[in-house]
């Protein structure tokens, strides 16, 4: 009886300890490349500077409605919806012939930016030169309205 009780207690401890190692829901899923961020103030300081490219990775229709001055459209909607190959092709086309520091602009600095970051990494882009605009276009349009083109 004591052995059975000890065995059950040991099993409960093993399950409890293994649950402590589970991934938290708000952490990036396994396989996602860690993103680095640039603030709106840091980004406005480099607008128009050589060696920097601002990639607006939102849907092309949203880019057409409004975007950061000088940004280039690179629609990552297909990648966000599961087509990772299309995402890699979009990022390949957007970065062909450049080794600029990239500032990725999505809606809020999360889902679309993560898809683009993953695609850039898969394509072999120098990830020390890839940043996501903190808070995305939503934050930018409030913080820097003078640098938004209709």
For the stretch 23-56, what's the b/e string if a residue is b when 16 or more beta carbons lie within 10 angstroms of its beta carbon? eeeeeeeeeebebeebebeebeeeeeeeebbbbb
Residue 15: what pLDDT?
40
87 vs 27, more confident: 87
- What pLDDT, in 10s, does the model give residues 1-57? 555 444 444 444 444 434 334 333 334 456 799 999 999 999 999 998 999 999 999
- Residues 69-81, mean pLDDT to the nearest whole number: 95
Q: What is the pLDDT of residues 128-145, one digit of tens each?
A: 999 999 999 999 999 999
pLDDT, residue 109, reads: 85
């Amino acid at each position: 009886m004591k052995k059975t009780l000890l065995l059950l207690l040991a099993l409960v401890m093993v399950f409890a300890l293994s649950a402590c190692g589970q991934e938290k829901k708000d952490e990036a899923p396994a396989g996602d490349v860690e993103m680095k961020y640039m603030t709106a103030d840091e980004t406005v300081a480099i607008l128009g500077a050589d060696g920097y490219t601002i990639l607006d990775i939102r849907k092309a229709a949203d880019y057409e409605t409004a975007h950061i001055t000088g940004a280039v459209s690179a629609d990552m909607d297909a990648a966000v919806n599961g087509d990772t190959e299309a995402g890699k092709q979009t990022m390949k086309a957007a970065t062909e012939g450049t080794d600029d520091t990239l500032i990725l602009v999505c809606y809020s600095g999360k889902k679309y930016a993560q898809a683009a970051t993953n695609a850039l990494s898969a394509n072999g882009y120098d990830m020390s030169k890839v940043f996501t605009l903190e808070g995305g276009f939503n934050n930018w349009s409030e913080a820097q309205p003078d640098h938004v083109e209709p």
